[in-house]
Amino acid sequence: MDLGLKGKRVVVLASSKGIGQAIAKEFVREGAEVLITSRDPEHLLEAAQEIKREIGGDVPGPHTEVCDITKEEDLKSLFEGAIDKLGGIDVLINNAGGPPAGSFMDFEDEDWQKAFELNLLSFIRATRYVLPHMKEAGEGRILNIASSSIKEPIDGLILSNTFRNGIVGLSKSLAREYAGENILVNTLGPGRISTDRVEELDQVQAKRRGLSPEEVKAEHETRIPAGRYGTPDEFARTAVFLASFANTYVTGQSFVVDGGAVKAL
């Protein structure tokens, strides 16, 4: 299948590792011109080199831009740089690391504010920057990366449960507002994908319960019909289709890639 991505200009937020890097790699593989971001210049350079090395051949590696997505001035600079480097933006992948694990009474107002800025406001600001360019081009794709908690809340992740579902409301509203201009907006949530974030959550749970991280992982795997954690590349392939121009009619939808773990309809 031709995903219609050759020469398309793609920005992937928080893409120096994990799911973000895997998505960026798949876009590069499909012939898109990709810009990746991270707060850490060293991680960003390593990610760009790794993507180019994995794909091989004469495929150009991704562009890079240092950006703390919680800072409005950084996002403004990022998208100004993206327009300068790419000449436009056809696809935006909104992505961010997860907020801390914990229960309701563990968090003060400052924690809620930080989670809001990281996991929802950053998506709002990035979308605001790209929409005028997509409208001018007459098409665009926006994919918001969330969590499987958009379908079923996850115990001990109240910050994530709250703001990831805010992403769903944002996506649905944007999809309805811009579908007539061929700008499609969807939400995609990972289940237990083998990333540093999931490893960290397993360690937190293990410490709390007096288990080893390996025991926690094995326990989770018994509740996943596929019997294992997913890989970032598996998640990325779904993401790239939804954000591609082979997708011409799916918008306003929320999906999870979780090996069948979520029981909610």
Structure tokens at 6: 């050759």
Q: Is the pLDDT of residue 265 over 90?
A: no
Q: Is the pLDDT of residue 57 over 90?
A: no
Q: Above pLDDT 70, what percent of the chain?
A: 100
> CA-to-CA distance for 11 and 62, rounded, in angstroms?
10
Q: Is the pLDDT of residue 74 over 80?
A: yes
Whole-number pLDDT of residue 8:
97
Q: Is the pLDDT of residue 61 over 90?
A: no
> CA-to-CA distance for 163 and 149, rounded, in angstroms?
10
Could you say which DSSP state residue 254 is in?
A: E
Q: How confident is the model at residue 67 (pLDDT cuts 50, 70, 90)?
A: very high
Mean pLDDT of 199-216: 90
Q: Is the pLDDT of residue 59 over 80?
A: no
> CA-to-CA distance for 188 and 22, rounded, in angstroms?
14
Condensed to tens digits (0 to 9), the pLDDT of residues 86-143 reads 999 999 999 999 999 999 999 999 999 999 999 999 999 999 999 999 999 999 999 9
Per the model's pLDDT, the better-predicted residue between 95 and 196 turns out to be 95
Whole-number pLDDT of residue 56:
82
Condensed to tens digits (0 to 9), the pLDDT of residues 140-174 reads 999 999 999 999 999 999 999 999 999 999 999 99
Q: Which amino acid is at 112?
A: W
For strand 91-94 and strand 9-12, is the pairing parallel, antiparallel, or unpaired?
parallel
Query: Domain 9-191+233-254, what fold?
Result: Rossmann fold (3.40.50)
Torsion 207-208-210-211 (CA) sign:
negative
Q: Which amino acid is at 93?
A: I
Structure tokens at 72: 């409005």
Q: Is the pLDDT of residue 58 over 80?
A: no
Q: Above pLDDT 90, what percent of the chain?
A: 92
Enumerate the domain spans of the chain: 9-191+233-254, 192-229
Whole-number pLDDT of residue 204:
87
List phi, psi (to 5°) of 256.
-125, 150
Torsion 115-118-123-124 (CA) sign:
positive
Instruction: Quote the pTM value.
Output: 0.96
Distance from the Cα of residue 16 to its chain's centroid: 12
For tokens 């240092």, the residue is: 66
Between helix 213-222 and helix 196-209 the angle, nearest 10°, is 110
Mean pLDDT of 202-206: 89
- Cα distances (Å, whole numbers) of residue 256 to 142, 144, 145, 201: 16, 12, 10, 18
Whole-number pLDDT of residue 99:
95
Mean pLDDT of 187-193: 97
Per the model's pLDDT, the better-predicted residue between 127 and 264 turns out to be 127
Contacts of 113 (CB under 8 A, 6+ apart): none
Please state, rounded to an integer, the average pLDDT across all residues of the chain.
95
